[in-house]
Amino acid sequence: MTSLNFLVLVCLGYVALLFTVAFAADRLAARGRSTWLRSPLVYTLSLSIYCTAWTFYGAVGYAARSGLEYVTIYLGPTLVMLGWWWGLRKLVRIGRSQRVTSIADLISSRYGKSNSLAICVTLLAVIGVTPYIALQLQSITLSFSIFADADPNGAYAEHSSVVLVAIGLAVFAILFGTRNLDVNERHHGVVTAVALEAIVKLLALIAVGVFVVWGLAGGIGPMMERIDASEIGTWQVNSGRWVAITFLAAAAFVCLPRMFQVMVVENDDERHLRTAAWAFPLYLLLMSLFVVPIAVVGLDIMPEGSNPDMFVLTIPISQGRDGLAMLSFLGGFSSATSMVIVAAMALSTMVSNHIVMPIWLSSRGGGASVSGDVRDVILLARRVSIAVIMALGYFYYRLSGGGAALAAIGLIAFAGIAQILPALVGGLFWRGATRTGALVGLIVGFAVWTYTLLLPTLGAGMLSQAVLDAGPFGIVWLRPQALFGIAGLDPMVHATLWSLSLNAIAFCAVSLASFPSPLERLQGAQYVNVFDHSAGPRGWTGSVAQSEDLMIMSQRILGAGQAQELFSSEAEAQGVSGHLPEPTPVFLERLERELAGSVGAATAHAMIGQIVGGSSVSVEDLLAVADESAQLLEYSSQLEAKSAELSRTARKLREANEKLTQLSVQKDAFLSQVSHELRTPMTSIRAFSEILRDADGLEPADKVRYATIIHDEALRLTRLLNDLLDLSVLESGQVNLNRRDGLLCDVLDHASAAALAGSDRTLILHRNRPDEEIHLSTDLDRLAQVFINLIANAQKYCDAEQPELRIRVHGNADRLMIDFVDNGSGVPGEAQGLIFEKFARIGTEKASGAGLGLAICREIMQRLDGTVTYLDGIPGGAFRVTLPMAARLAAQ
């Protein structure tokens, strides 16, 4: 009799072998000599993690209870494989071209890289798979306890062994599943170990089967007779369950995270599917071939009441075949361990990429541009996730009591995971599927599944018997196991039917009613038409992206060496080797895909988005998405742009025309004014010169008076012409400023001296010299011209008895103001708007000026970037000259 200690020893030896194989495979892969590791055979065998301990041990028990119904679990995947050419091949192609890391990543990436969807799928997967892991732990402990029962000397503690098994599996998964953070997310070590385990479990089951058929029953013929004579000897299945379970198995085969991991993520070459398409169904067929014989013989020869789930193990033991029992034990052990390892790995990828990393990134505040290596964080997150998932599985096992309740879990998990199917299939084949639709469908399906299947079956105490019998709040048609009053269905069929159909209906209806974001439409086209253009998703407009930031971020995720290699190869491709590459859209796409391999599509997209900023979708992309309507749209938008341009041009033309008309009017007015101004002195000059010529006998005094008048008028004419010339130069902007440095007080001194020279009327100036000690850098002559004008005006027009002029200098941070305030009556309100116009004069009595002085002042101040304004509300005439502080030098 095999002792328990020997069993433990064999177990440890087997695990050591697996470690060695995984380690060697990783080494080979690292050296690039892993051609046989990438063979279709290894791929096919790795798919066999579909056959867990639940199917290894449980299938026989299933057959002993329900006859041939157990084959449905294998028929589903077979049907999926039959359709590999248009189904799985597309999935694998998308997975490879988009660098998908998990099923959650695939769904989120399809629906616009939405992280909320990824979180949803991840939670669903954790809830669905954790009990499944518990089931594996149970099967391992059960098989241990069978040996313990047979070994009278063995001291066996169930709980501690479960803990040890869980810890051991977690360590294996951590060691080989999170050793490296490969951009391709491939784990050659784990896959090779899984392939080895696949061979062991197949050999074990076939060995037991051969022993039963030829060793115990005496050949095929007697075996068949024995089968027909047994209590499961007649074909009898529930049609509803047959169809529902086949469907669920097919759905789970695609949607289970661990299956997705080995089938899509670990896939090296999609041509492997061609081999797997026939080899994997063959593997399943062989796995199920001897199930019924073992069940029948077990029912025959084992004592009444023995657990049919353990026939694979108990029949060899009861016949004293210790070697066979050991092999069978190893088969079951392999099934459980490979499933748990890959499932924990796949779940940890999902949890770390879609839950931990987004939280960590947002908690760091600075987002993707924080320095430091993120790889450690990712790996740590994965390791912790694996440990947490294993712990969850363990606690679930303890809480559920490890009894028969667990056996039902396999199918319940299948039904839960199958809720992903509508979103997945819709995403792959229907461009109209939207993120909102997928989210609503998932939530509805998940809720119905929980209500109709999970709670009634497992949650003893969570749903009272009253609710099961009469529905919540006495609403009969809401009974969990008879929704809408349709009673009498098998609970499994009932839950599958309602959860999946409501899920699909919600998904389709909401998808039809909602409108996808541009990125969703783009990804939708990429997914659905993946065979037409297997390029990656289009997207980044790199003009704003900073290569350096990208480099820093990639180093943290890919590691310094790999990131530098990537960047330098890209730089070489761009022809700028030795420098950082330009962030072209193509390069950004490539970088995003590389990063997606490590942190998932949604996170990678978000990280690059943080650095690149702005939209990832250009107008051209959107037009391409919108297909035929796009062209119409483009055409009409071009037309619109053209018509807008036309109307803009027309408006400009109209404005120009109005301006020209105004100018013409102004020119006419100006000409008439100028001619008027010129005519007045000319008239008096002509008149007096005619008198001098024609009148004889003029008094010498009169002669002198008339000649003086002519001289004065000629002077006035000259002044007028000078002013006009000055104004035209200033207005045409052709004036050259002669910038010099000087003191404001000097300018004022010069101006007052010039303005008051030769004047008969006295004007008292009030100045505050200390205020005027201001350094200026401007055209001092022009400025003086303005001051002269203002002082002369005050002298001329101030109507006070004793005219006084007060010059005040003040200013603020950016402007310097010089006020000229006299004590006269000032400019009447209605004339204030006019005084700066040409030929504007107030009053006609003193017609010594041409009325161009203030107009010239205004023009000069405009050239000097300042203003001259009339100050209203002050007694007396007041003008303010404002200069920009730029003209004032920094105070010494």
Within 10 A of 587 (CB to CB), how many other CB atoms are there?
22
**Min CB(227)–other proteins separation in Å:** 5
- C-alpha to C-alpha distance for 579 and 590, rounded to whole angstroms: 18
Q: How far is residue 129 from each of residues 103, 173, 227, 494, measured CA to CA in Å?
A: 13, 16, 35, 21
Please identify, using beta-carbon distances, which residue of 66 and 684 lies nearer to other proteins. 66
Q: Can you tell me which residue has the tokens 């065979």?
A: 531
Closest CA to 820 of 839, 843, 804: 804
- C-alpha to C-alpha distance for 364 and 371, rounded to whole angstroms: 11
Q: Judging by beta carbons within 10 Å of its beta carbon (0-12, 13-18, 19+), is residue 437 exposed, middle or buried?
A: buried
In the DSSP assignment, the letter for residue 419 is: G
**Min CB(532)–other proteins separation in Å:** 6
Secondary structure class of 825 (helix, strand, coil): coil
Q: Can you tell me which residue has the tokens 């400023």?
A: 737
Please identify, using beta-carbon distances, which residue of 283 and 449 lies nearer to other proteins. 283
Please identify, using beta-carbon distances, which residue of 395 and 531 lies nearer to other proteins. 531
**Min CB(524)–other proteins separation in Å:** 17
Residue type, 883: L
Please identify, using beta-carbon distances, which residue of 293 and 516 lies nearer to other proteins. 293
Closest CA to 554 of 421, 373, 781: 373
Angle, CA of 493, 494 and 495, to the nearest 5°: 95
Please identify, using beta-carbon distances, which residue of 66 and 618 lies nearer to other proteins. 66
List Cβ neighbours of 86 (8 Å cut-off, separation of 6 or more): none
Please identify, using beta-carbon distances, which residue of 288 and 503 lies nearer to other proteins. 288
**Min CB(185)–other proteins separation in Å:** 21
Contacts 24+ apart (CB under 8 A), 326-329: 326/2, 326/7, 326/10, 327/200, 327/203, 327/204, 327/207, 327/208, 328/204, 328/205, 328/207, 328/208, 329/7, 329/143, 329/147
Please identify, using beta-carbon distances, which residue of 84 and 527 lies nearer to other proteins. 84
Please identify, using beta-carbon distances, which residue of 250 and 386 lies nearer to other proteins. 250
Please identify, using beta-carbon distances, which residue of 227 and 455 lies nearer to other proteins. 227
Please identify, using beta-carbon distances, which residue of 247 and 260 lies nearer to other proteins. 247
Q: Can you tell me which residue has the tokens 């299933």?
A: 62
**Min CB(228)–other proteins separation in Å:** 4
| Neighbour-count burial for 209-238, b at 16+ CB within 10 Å, e otherwise | bebbbeebbeeeeebeebbeebebeeeeee
Closest CA to 540 of 611, 458, 439: 611
**Min CB(416)–other proteins separation in Å:** 24
Please identify, using beta-carbon distances, which residue of 158 and 225 lies nearer to other proteins. 225
List Cβ neighbours of 604 (8 Å cut-off, separation of 6 or more): 592, 593, 595, 596, 598
Secondary structure class of 776 (helix, strand, coil): strand
Please identify, using beta-carbon distances, which residue of 287 and 774 lies nearer to other proteins. 287
Please identify, using beta-carbon distances, which residue of 80 and 162 lies nearer to other proteins. 80
**Min CB(468)–other proteins separation in Å:** 29
Specify which residues 776 forms β-bridges with.
742, 888
**Min CB(267)–other proteins separation in Å:** 13
**Min CB(282)–other proteins separation in Å:** 5
Where on the chain is the footprint of other proteins (CB under 8 A)?
67-68, 71, 75, 78-86, 89-90, 224-225, 227-228, 230, 232-237, 239, 242-243, 246, 270-271, 274-275, 277-278, 281-282, 285, 289, 292, 531-532, 534
Please identify, using beta-carbon distances, which residue of 295 and 745 lies nearer to other proteins. 295
Secondary structure class of 265 (helix, strand, coil): helix
Determine the angle formed by the axes of helices 291-301 and 188-210, rounding to 10 degrees. Answer: 50
**Min CB(251)–other proteins separation in Å:** 14
**Min CB(589)–other proteins separation in Å:** 20
**Min CB(145)–other proteins separation in Å:** 31
- Please answer whether residues 61 and 307 qualify as being in contact, where contact means their C-beta atoms are separated by less than 8 angstroms: yes
Structural tokens at position 332: 């079951």
**Min CB(523)–other proteins separation in Å:** 19
**Min CB(493)–other proteins separation in Å:** 13
Please identify, using beta-carbon distances, which residue of 271 and 659 lies nearer to other proteins. 271
Q: How far is residue 125 from each of residues 8, 138, 265, 440, 457, measured CA to CA in Å?
A: 32, 20, 16, 17, 19
- C-alpha to C-alpha distance for 6 and 764, rounded to whole angstroms: 125
Q: Judging by beta carbons within 10 Å of its beta carbon (0-12, 13-18, 19+), is residue 321 exposed, middle or buried?
A: middle
- Please answer whether residues 750 and 785 qualify as being in contact, where contact means their C-beta atoms are separated by less than 8 angstroms: no
Q: How far is residue 800 from each of residues 471, 540, 796, measured CA to CA in Å?
A: 105, 77, 11
Secondary structure class of 868 (helix, strand, coil): strand
Within 10 A of 741 (CB to CB), how many other CB atoms are there?
10
- Please answer whether residues 853 and 793 qualify as being in contact, where contact means their C-beta atoms are separated by less than 8 angstroms: yes
Structural tokens at position 866: 């300042």
Please identify, using beta-carbon distances, which residue of 122 and 288 lies nearer to other proteins. 288
**Min CB(82)–other proteins separation in Å:** 5
**Min CB(608)–other proteins separation in Å:** 28
Specify which residues 740 forms β-bridges with.
778
Please identify, using beta-carbon distances, which residue of 29 and 287 lies nearer to other proteins. 287
Please identify, using beta-carbon distances, which residue of 82 and 660 lies nearer to other proteins. 82
Q: How far is residue 311 from each of residues 1, 158, 768, 838, measured CA to CA in Å?
A: 18, 20, 117, 117
